[in-house]
């Protein structure tokens, strides 16, 4: 199969840290252009906007959109209207309505669209899903805590409406849990700790349950220092399953089943190549819906101002 010519929209931290290395190592994609008003890559055609890139590279087959969420709807619409396959960095939009509009447009145009939940491609996720599918689940505990100063330095947009605050990493945990659990679950209550100078939470405590009232507790915190915590524990009739290190380590009933190097973004681009080739979409809004529910039901508590 010949390589897929792809353009990258937004050359910020996530694009430099993850998308560029994944595209560079992929046998399926060839980066031919970028769209960013502030950044150029040596040896790659650079444009100030997506519109300019689409005009300048009319044979482009796909675009990966890595801009802040409030920009993604208009950019994805433009790419789809030009007949391009679209990969959306998580979350796929600022609102559920935006994503639904894009999904409908992608279907009308026959263009593949991929809501790319990268954490679902962590090494232990698929095996965890298979093991849990045949077992009775008693309880789930999620602990997702990291240092915002390390992962989002100088990124003030994360504290503005649409930036999601601690749900920017927290949605990664939700993307895994919605993938590995065999049935849907629902938010029952939430506490959101919002700094006095911010619009989005720096920490959150969430209580979910499924139709069988299985308790699911989640604790998200952006104030973690030292070692970072990305753990999910599921108690079942046959013992505890633990996905730790963001899903790179799988332990079942005290035995290490899998411990592998993280390759989320390369695996994610492998899947996108399959979607582009097969002309199909993969758009799941369940993680974003849970975040929207948290903002809807959550009790807000004002905490100390955030100072970077």
- DSSP assignment of 216-254 equals EEEEEESB--SS-EEEEEEEETTEEEEEEGGGTEEEETT
DSSP conformational letter for 93: -
Contact in structure between 139 and 215 (CB atoms under 8 Å):
yes
Alpha-carbon distance of 280 to 282, in angstroms, equals 7
DSSP 3-state of 3: coil
Task: Please name the residue that has the structure tokens 């505990």.
Answer: 141
DSSP conformational letter for 158: G
Q: Are strands 239-244 and 249-252 parallel, antiparallel or unpaired?
A: antiparallel
Q: Which two tokens stand for residue 55?
A: 């005009």
Distance, C-alpha 6 to centroid of its chain:
20
- Angular region, 297: left φ>0, alpha ψ -120 to 50, beta rest: alpha
Strand order in the sheet with 45-47: 45-47, 29-35, 4-9, 62-65, 85-89, 113-116
Respond yes or no: is residue 90 known to be catalytic: yes
Write out the catalytic residue numbers: 90
């Amino acid at each position: 199969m010949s390589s897929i010519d792809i353009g990258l929209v937004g050359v910020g931290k996530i694009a430099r840290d993850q998308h560029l290395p994944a595209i560079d190592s992929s046998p399926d994609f060839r980066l031919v252009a970028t769209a960013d008003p502030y950044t150029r890559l040596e040896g790659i055609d650079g444009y100030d906007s997506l519109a300019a890139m689409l005009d300048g590279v009319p044979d482009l087959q796909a675009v990966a959109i890595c801009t802040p969420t409030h920009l993604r709807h208009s950019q994805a619409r433009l790419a789809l209207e030009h007949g391009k396959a679209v990969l959306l960095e998580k979350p796929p939009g600022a609102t559920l309505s935006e994503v639904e509009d894009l999904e409908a447009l992608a279907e009308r145009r026959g263009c593949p669209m991929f809501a790319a939940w990268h954490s679902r491609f962590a090494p232990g996720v698929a095996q965890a899903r298979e093991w849990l599918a045949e077992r009775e689940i008693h309880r789930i505990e999620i602990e997702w805590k990291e240092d915002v100063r390390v992962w989002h330095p100088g990124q003030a947009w994360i504290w503005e409406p649409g930036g999601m605050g601690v749900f920017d990493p927290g949605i990664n945990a939700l993307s895994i849990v919605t993938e590995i659990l065999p049935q849907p679950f629902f938010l029952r209550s939430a506490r959101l700790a919002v700094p006095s100078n911010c619009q989005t939470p720096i920490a959150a405590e969430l209580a979910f349950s499924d139709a069988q009232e299985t308790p699911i507790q989640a604790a998200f915190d952006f104030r973690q220092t030292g070692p970072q915590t990305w753990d999910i524990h599921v108690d079942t009739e046959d013992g505890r399953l633990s996905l730790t290190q963001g899903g790179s380590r799988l332990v079942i009933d005290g035995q290490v089943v899998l411990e592998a190097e993280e390759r989320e973004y390369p695996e994610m681009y492998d899947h996108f190549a399959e979607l582009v080739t097969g002309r199909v979409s993969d758009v799941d809004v369940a993680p974003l819906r849970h975040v929207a529910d948290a903002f809807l039901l959550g009790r807000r508590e004002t905490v100390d101002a955030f100072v970077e």
